[in-house]
Amino acid sequence: MLGCSRSDEPPPRTEPAVEPAATGSDPRAVILFLGTSLTAGYGVGADHAYPALVQKKLDSAGYAFRAVNAGLSGETSAGGLRRLEWWLQQPVSVLVLELGANDGLRGLPIAQLRANLDSIIARTRQRYPDVAVVMAGMQAPPNLGLPYTSQFQTTYRDISRKHDALLIPFLLEGVAADAALNQGDGIHPNAEGHRRIAALMWTALEPVLRQRSPRQPPPAARE
């Protein structure tokens, strides 16, 4: 497995890059991408990270949704839980939960990961009962041993079943360990890697969006 934090990364931000209140005038329903540096776009920039690429797919397909990037480099599931209330200030239609890679990289307790992911979904649904949840599964480093890596992977399956969430078994499927799709650190996807992730994410998301919002003609087609 690939982690998503390195000692040479910049220190994590102490506040979100975009304040929810600053985008309150946008009428589009929110898809909240809560995650790590993989979501934030470490090394490629937010404009080339997979949430921004998903936004382009949304616009092209005529879906009235706004992708909000709440990724943070070095983030753990505990950190994501602490930041959640900030992002729930805006109504959320779909939560994409990409957390756990740094928990695995640091060998943090599986029970802690499970409890944090469970709480994030439960609190989001408490605030917005109709929210759809997509979980982006990750894998733990093999050097932590088979019991840990197996329990780590099972956590995503169990939590997604408990909350009737859609599970992407491995967000980096087809990208992890491919030098052509990753930056020099071998951990973080490059621009092409993010395009592959966006394609995988879109395959999972599009059926969810179709049920929630009828497609409209893209802006150019309505002119």
For the annotated catalytic residues, the residue numbers are 37, 185, 188
Q: What count of Cα atoms within 13 Å lies in the side-chain half-sphere of residue 208?
A: 23
Which H or E element spans position 168?
A: strand 166-168
What is the rounded CA–CA span in Å between residue 157 and residue 137? 8
Buried b (16+ CB within 10 A) or exposed e, 191-213: eebbbbbbebbbebbeebbeebb
Which residues, at least 6 apart from 209, have a Cβ–Cβ distance to it below 8 Å? 58, 63, 65, 94
Q: How far is residue 42's CA from residue 18's CA, in Å, rounded to a whole number?
A: 16
CA–CA separation, 181 and 192 (whole Å): 6
Token pair listed for 179:
């030098």
C-beta of residue 73 within 8 angstroms of C-beta of residue 12:
yes
Beta strand 65-71 with 94-98 is unpaired
